[in-house]
């Protein structure tokens, strides 16, 4: 048995034990495992497995970890996202911010591409379930929301700057989701880690409400930070690994926000005009 075959079998064993693997997916994996243990040709069985998974794979309907596995067996390189920074102790000039604003696929790039950002990690937080899976969170069984944890250098970028950016890329008047992302797990939240962050976020929210930009109330929640659970590898840096799919999602989101921001500008200008007369 060569090293690649050993690695793939280890992947299969881990996926069988993975609670996030769907029953049908697990059945296909068990068939391969049993066949190989009974002397069947591994390559032939792997080809059979790939064929059985293909209909769901082409529709992006496999669970995240199985999607990574499918990409590996079909020759696509799947880099494992380095979570070292999430677990490491922050340096003297480092701080963390946690924001939820709809699907975390679209929340990473706006922060990740800013100067002073050390890492942006997709994950789940705010709920009651330990080690939540994507399937559980989107099923709204956990109380968690999809969120991003941002580790940044305070010498280059300030927390208040990140809060300001957060308002720009979310709809603060919608507490039932964001744009096309509906459900409690997509509600917008600023998770504050200390009193200073709470003061900054609260003041920023109040200033936004007083600005007159929005006709509806500002309903984004400000809540104490809870344990942040990193999401599966498939979701990390989605905008880099799945560029075309991300562009389609982001285009729809940006169209909605652009229209909302235009209405906000018109509303503010009308208010100023009325004040003059």
Asked if 137 and 187 sit in the same domain, the reply is yes
Residues contacting 56, CB < 8 A, separation 6+ = 62
Q: For residues 68 and 101, state if they share a domain.
A: no
Question: Is the domain of 58 the same as that of 104?
Answer: no
* Interior/surface letters 48-59, b for 16+ CB within 10 angstroms, e for the rest: ebeebbeebbee
| Phi, psi for residue 229 in degrees, rounded to 5 | -105, 110
User: CA 99, CA 136: separation in Å to the nearest integer?
Assistant: 20
Q: Are 179 and 102 in contact (CB under 8 A)?
A: yes
CATH of the domain at 115: 3.30.1060.10
- Output the pTM of the full model: 0.85
Beta bridge partners of 224: 192
Q: In Å, how far are 14, 115, 252, 267 from 102, measured between CA atoms?
A: 30, 23, 13, 25
Residues 161 and 220 in one domain: yes
Q: Could you tell me the sign of the dihedral formed by the alpha carbons of 22, 28, 15, 83, in that order?
A: negative
CA-nearest of 188, 187, 248 to 60 is 248
- Asked if the structure places residue 263 within a domain, the reply is no
Q: Is there a single domain that holds both residue 198 and residue 97?
A: yes
Number of separate domains in the chain? 2
Q: Are residues 89 and 196 in the same domain?
A: yes
Q: For residue 19, what are the domain limits?
A: 3-73
Q: Are residues 102 and 60 in the same domain?
A: no
Mark which of 48, 73, 98 sits at the end of a domain: 73
Q: Are residues 64 and 89 in the same domain?
A: no
Q: pLDDT of the chain along its 277 residues, tens only?
A: 677 889 899 999 999 999 899 999 999 999 999 999 999 999 999 999 999 999 999 888 899 999 999 999 998 767 789 999 999 999 999 999 999 999 999 999 999 999 999 999 999 999 999 999 999 999 999 999 999 999 999 999 999 999 999 999 999 999 999 988 999 999 999 999 999 999 999 999 999 999 989 989 999 999 999 999 999 999 999 999 888 889 988 888 989 999 998 888 888 787 776 666 5
190, 236 contact by CB (below 8 A): no
Domain annotation covers residue 47: yes
Q: Which residues are catalytic?
A: 103
3-state secondary structure at position 80: coil
């Amino acid at each position: 048995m060569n090293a690649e075959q050993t690695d793939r079998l280890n992947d299969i064993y881990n996926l069988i034990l993975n609670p996030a693997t769907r029953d049908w997916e697990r059945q296909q994996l068990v068939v391969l495992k049993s066949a190989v243990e009974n002397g069947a040709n591994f390559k032939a069985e792997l080809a059979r497995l790939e064929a059985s998974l293909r209909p769901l794979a082409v529709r992006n309907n496999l669970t995240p970890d199985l999607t990574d596995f499918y990409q590996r067996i079909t020759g696509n390189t799947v880099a494992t996202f380095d979570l070292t920074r999430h677990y490491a102790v922050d340096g003297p000039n480092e701080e963390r911010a946690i924001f939820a604003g709809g699907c975390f696929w679209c929340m990473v790039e706006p922060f990740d591409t800013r100067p002073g950002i050390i890492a942006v990690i997709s994950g789940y937080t705010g709920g009651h379930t330990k080690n939540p899976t994507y399937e559980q969170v989107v099923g709204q069984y956990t109380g968690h929301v999809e969120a991003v944890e941002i580790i940044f250098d305070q010498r280059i970028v300030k927390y208040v700057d990140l809060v300001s950016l957060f308002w720009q890329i979310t709809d603060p008047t919608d507490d039932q989701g964001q744009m096309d992302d509906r459900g409690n797990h997509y509600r917008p939240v600023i998770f504050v880690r200390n009193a200073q962050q709470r003061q900054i976020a609260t003041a920023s929210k109040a200033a936004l409400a007083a600005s007159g930009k929005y006709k509806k109330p500002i309903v984004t929640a400000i809540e104490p930070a809870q344990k942040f659970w990193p999401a599966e590898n498939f979701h990390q840096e989605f905008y880099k690994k799945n560029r075309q799919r991300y562009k389609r999602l982001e285009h729809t989101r940006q169209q909605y926000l652009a229209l909302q921001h235009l209405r906000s500008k018109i509303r503010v200008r009308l208010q100023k005009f009325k004040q003059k007369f």
